[in-house]
Structure 1
Amino acid sequence: MEKLILRYDATKSISRRAHVGVAGSGDLEILCEPLSEQTALVHIRTQSDGFGDTWQAMMDRFFLKHNVAARMEINDFGATPGVVSLRLAQVIEVLEL
């Protein structure tokens, strides 16, 4: 199991929590909640070791477009990059941004 912590500058405040997906075989869940400071803090727990660079690139791309001030917990159980992108898009939809 690999654990990653990423930080980003953020300018968009959110007012609600979001929960999408499930931590099951080939899937992942994302828990998101507002942060009062202008930063984003992402905690990633993944069963797949050695994909830190891939996670970094995906989250860099996400926060470049959606710079939300939030605390995110991502619990991965072998999801593909396509599933990760889908779940991130669902978080934005739930947050109504």
Structure 2
Amino acid sequence: MEQITLSFPASRTLSGRALAGVVGSGDMEVLFTADSEQALNVEITTSVDNSTARWNALFERLSLLNGLPAGKLIIHDFGATPGVARIRIEQVFEEANHA
């Protein structure tokens, strides 16, 4: 298991907390907690070694598309494809937007 910690500038705010996915489902679980910081702080536990560049690229893409919200994002990844990762992250942001 690899632990990855990332931080990205936030360009929007959300409120509340949200959960998307289930760690036991075989792909990934994403938990988001909004805060008033100016950054999105991400903690990733992954079964895929040497994947920091992949995660950085995914968050850079998300930042360009919709901006990133301020808060803390915890990801438990057990081999999800980049497409599934993006869907789960977008789901958790959408749920928090309506919290």
TM-score clears 0.5: yes
> Share of identical aligned residues, percent?
41
Q: Distance in 2 between matches of 1:66 and 1:21?
A: 22
Pairwise CA distance, 1:15: 1.1
Gaps of 5+ in 1: none
CA distance in 2, matches of 1:43, 1:2: 11
- Residue matched to 2:74: 73
- SS of the equivalent of 1:75 reads strand
AA partner of residue 17 (structure 1): R
Q: After the TM superposition, which residues 51-66 of structure 1 pair with which residues of structure 2 at under 5 Å, given as runs? A: 51-64=51-64, 65-66=66-67
Superposition pairs of residues 5-84 of structure 1, within 5 angstroms: 5-24=5-24, 26-64=26-64, 65-84=66-85
1:25 CA drift (Å): 5.3
User: Structure 1 residue 42: deviation in Å?
Assistant: 0.4
Instruction: Give the superposition deviation at 1:88.
Output: 1.4
Query: Root-mean-square deviation (CA), in Å?
Result: 1.5
- When the two structures are superposed, what TM-score results if normalisation uses the length of structure 1? 0.89
Alpha-carbon distance between aligned partners in 1 of 2:52 and 2:11, rounded to the nearest angstrom: 25
Distance 1:11 1:93 in 2: 15
- Structure whose residues are more often helix by fraction: 2
In structure 2, runs of 5+ residues without a counterpart are none
TM-score, scaled to structure 2: 0.88
Following TM superposition, by how much is the alpha carbon of 1:82 offset from its aligned partner in structure 2, in angstroms?
1.2
